[in-house]
């Protein structure tokens, strides 16, 4: 398995394509992007990776990891692969990592897409994290994994995709990163607060929100866009359906507009 800077990674798409780094959310697994990979690999040299502390990457985490340190991990991966500049697409925590990286190393990031992310934690999201931590501490990894789909997907999608949800739950249990690592990663997302610095981001930014996201209110994406400099050219797309993992549940829609926007094409309003 290929590793660089302590991180498991994969490369997909044409070798001469523009680099695009995909960063997953709290679960941290590169496999999260499977429903979108083919669409992006048609246009870009796609880099997938497992976050440190999860999956096939180095499982050791410091006592108090931060999103900014996770951004340095992503930068270290780009350095190890000899990539001077890349576009960045991040889901939830992955989007936070992208914004932190755009602030820390603005010349290294091209276009930046943040899916169901935030610049400052919404109180509702904090309550959801509290509930998940109670499940984790009282019921262990199985209870945590069994409840995960409730926060990720709309109820109708869960009902129609029961086999897939069950398989994902088993995989989450089999590859669980450990209670300490999950708690540390949640603490890092809660502490992340760059809302007052959003205007410093120079990378063109697209905030994608799902109006039915039960974990992260869509207003969090609106706050990101509202904080951008007028010269940024950033904007927001609201997906009417799809839940927190809208790029998975409504992959056809996402795969149509997201690669096009990263390639620099204008958004087509419905």
CATH number at residue 31: 3.40.50.1820
Domain holding 29, by residue range, is 3-120+193-262
175 within a domain of the structure (yes/no): no
Q: Does residue 195 contact residue 120 with C-beta atoms inside 8 Å?
A: yes
176 within a domain of the structure (yes/no): no
187 within a domain of the structure (yes/no): no
Q: Does residue 230 contact residue 131 with C-beta atoms inside 8 Å?
A: no
Percent above pLDDT 70 for the chain: 99
Q: Does residue 103 contact residue 194 with C-beta atoms inside 8 Å?
A: yes
For the stretch 185-207, pLDDT in tens is 999 999 999 999 999 999 999 99
Question: Total structural domains in the chain?
Answer: 1
Q: What is the mean pLDDT of the chain?
A: 96
Binned at pLDDT 50, 70 and 90, residue 269 comes out as: low
Q: Which two tokens stand for residue 231?
A: 């010269």
**Which pTM value belongs to this model?**
0.97
């Amino acid at each position: 398995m290929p590793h660089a800077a302590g991180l498991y990674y994969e490369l997909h798409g044409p070798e001469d394509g523009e680099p695009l780094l995909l960063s997953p959310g709290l679960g941290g697994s590169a496999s999260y992007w499977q429903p979108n990979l083919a669409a992006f690999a048609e246009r870009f040299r796609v880099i997938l990776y497992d976050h440190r502390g999860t999956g096939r990457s180095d499982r050791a985490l410091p006592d108090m990891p931060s999103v900014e340190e996770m951004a340095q991990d992503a930068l270290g991966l780009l350095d190890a692969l000899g990539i001077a500049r890349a576009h960045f697409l991040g889901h939830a925590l992955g989007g936070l990592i992208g914004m932190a990286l755009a602030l820390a190393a603005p010349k290294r990031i091209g276009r930046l897409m943040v899916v169901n992310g935030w610049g400052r934690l919404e109180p509702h999201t904090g309550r959801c994290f509290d509930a998940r931590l109670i499940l984790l501490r009282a019921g262990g990894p199985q209870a945590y994994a069994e409840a995960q789909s409730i926060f990720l997907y709309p109820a109708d999608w869960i009902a129609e995709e029961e086999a897939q949800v069950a398989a994902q739950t088993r995989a989450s249990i089999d590859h669980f990163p450990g209670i300490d690592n999950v708690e540390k990663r949640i603490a890092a997302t809660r502490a992340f607060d760059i809302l007052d610095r959003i205007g410093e981001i120079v990378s063109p930014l697209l905030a994608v929100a799902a109006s039915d996201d039960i974990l992260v209110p869509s207003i969090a994406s609106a706050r990101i866009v509202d904080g951008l400099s007028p010269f940024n050219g950033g904007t927001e797309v609201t997906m009417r359906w799809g839940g927190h993992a809208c790029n998975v549940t409504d992959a056809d829609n996402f795969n149509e507009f997201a690669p096009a926007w990263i390639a620099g094409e204008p958004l087509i309003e419905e």
